Structure 1
Amino acid sequence: MKVLHLISGGETGGSRKHVITLLEQFSKEEVVLALMQEGPFAEEAREKGIRTEVFSQSSRYDLSILKKIVQFIKEENFDILHTHGPRANLFSIYLKKKTGIRWVTTVHSDPSLDFVKSGIKGKVFTSLSMYAVKKMDGYFAVSERFKQNLMKLGVSGNKIQTVYNGIHFTKEKAEPINRSEFVLKPEDFVMSMVARLHPIKGHTIVFEAMKQIEEEKRPHLLLVGDGPIKEELEKEAANRQLNSHVHFLGFRSDVDQIYAASDLALLASYSESFPLALLEAANQHVPIVTTDVGGVRELVQNEETGWIVPVGDASAYAKALRQAIHLRGEGRLAQMGEKLYFYSSQRYSLEQLEEATRSLYKRL
Structure 2
Amino acid sequence: MKILHLNAGNETGGGMSHILSLLNMLDHDEVVLGVLEDGEMFHKARELSIDTVNFKQSFPYDLSVLFHIKRYIENENIDMVHTHGPRANVLMNILKPSLSIPWILTLHSNPDDDFMGHGVKGSMFAKLHKCAIRQADHCLAISESFKKLLHTIGVANEKISTIYNGIDFNVLPNQNSYREELGFVDSDFLIGMVARLEPVKQHELAIESFAELNKKNPNTHLVLIGNGSREHELKQLCSQNNLERHVHFFGHREDVSSILPLMDVTLLTSKSESFPLVLLESARARVPVITTNVGGVPQLVPSNKYGWVTECEDLTKTLHLAYEKNKDERQVMGDRFYHFARSRYSSNHLAQQVTKIYDIMYKLPIEVESHV
Q: TM-score range by the shorter chain?
A: over 0.9
TM-superposed CA distance for 1:176, in Å, is 5.8
Structure 1 position 343 matched with structure 2 position 324: no
Partner of 2:305, secondary structure, is coil
For the 8 Å contact 2:55–2:65, the answer to whether it is kept is yes
Change beyond 3 A, Cα 1:104–1:172: closer
For the 8 Å contact 1:174–1:284, the answer to whether it is kept is no
Q: Which residue of structure 2 aligns with residue 69 of structure 1?
A: 69
Could you give the per-residue CA deviations for residues 86-108 of structure 1, whole angstroms, max 9, x where no partner exists?
Answer: 11111111121222331111111
Paired with 1:177 and 1:318, the residues of 2 have a C-alpha distance of 29
Structure 1 position 205 matched with structure 2 position 202: no
For the 8 Å contact 2:84–2:107, the answer to whether it is kept is yes
Structure 1 position 325 matched with structure 2 position 326: no
- Which letter maps to 1:5? H
Unaligned runs of 5+ in 2: 362-372
TM-superposed CA distance for 1:237, in Å, is 1.7
- Which letter maps to 1:82? H
Give me the CA root mean square deviation: 1.5
Structure 1 position 246 matched with structure 2 position 247: yes
Paired with 2:153 and 2:119, the residues of 1 have a C-alpha distance of 23
- Percent identity, please: 40
For the 8 Å contact 1:7–1:34, the answer to whether it is kept is yes
Q: Which residue of structure 2 aligns with residue 259 of structure 1?
A: 260
Q: Which residue of structure 1 aligns with residue 155 of structure 2?
A: 155
Q: Which residue of structure 2 aligns with residue 22 of structure 1?
A: 22
Q: Which residue of structure 1 aligns with residue 365 of structure 2?
A: none
Change beyond 3 A, Cα 1:214–1:72: closer
Q: How does 1:1-364 map to 2 (within 5 A)?
A: 1-170=1-170, 174-175=174-175, 177-218=177-218, 219-310=220-311, 313=312, 315-328=313-326, 331-364=328-361
TM-superposed CA distance for 1:323, in Å, is 0.6
TM-superposed CA distance for 1:240, in Å, is 2.0
Partner of 2:325, secondary structure, is helix
- Which letter maps to 1:303? N
Paired with 1:238 and 1:96, the residues of 2 have a C-alpha distance of 50
For the 8 Å contact 1:168–1:350, the answer to whether it is kept is yes
For the 8 Å contact 2:168–2:348, the answer to whether it is kept is no
Paired with 1:126 and 1:171, the residues of 2 have a C-alpha distance of 36
TM-superposed CA distance for 1:146, in Å, is 1.7
- Which letter maps to 1:146? F
For the 8 Å contact 1:13–1:195, the answer to whether it is kept is yes
Paired with 2:28 and 2:285, the residues of 1 have a C-alpha distance of 30
For the 8 Å contact 1:174–1:260, the answer to whether it is kept is no
Paired with 2:60 and 2:359, the residues of 1 have a C-alpha distance of 33
Q: Which runs of 4+ in 1 moved over 6 A?
A: none
What count of residue pairs does the alignment treat as equivalent?
360
Change beyond 3 A, Cα 1:97–1:172: closer
TM-superposed CA distance for 1:183, in Å, is 2.3
Which moved further from structure 2: 334-343 or 215-224?
A: 215-224
Paired with 1:230 and 1:176, the residues of 2 have a C-alpha distance of 30
With normalisation by structure 1, the TM-score equals: 0.95
Could you give the per-residue CA deviations for residues 61-96 of structure 1, whole angstroms, max 9, x where no partner exists?
Answer: 222111110111111121111111111111111121
TM-superposed CA distance for 1:210, in Å, is 0.7
TM-superposed CA distance for 1:2, in Å, is 1.1
Could you give the per-residue CA deviations for residues 116-157 of structure 1, whole angstroms, max 9, x where no partner exists?
Answer: 100111111111111111111001111122212212222112
Unaligned runs of 5+ in 1: none
TM-superposed CA distance for 1:207, in Å, is 0.7
Change beyond 3 A, Cα 1:133–1:176: farther
Change beyond 3 A, Cα 1:233–1:177: farther
Partner of 2:316, secondary structure, is helix
For the 8 Å contact 1:173–1:285, the answer to whether it is kept is no
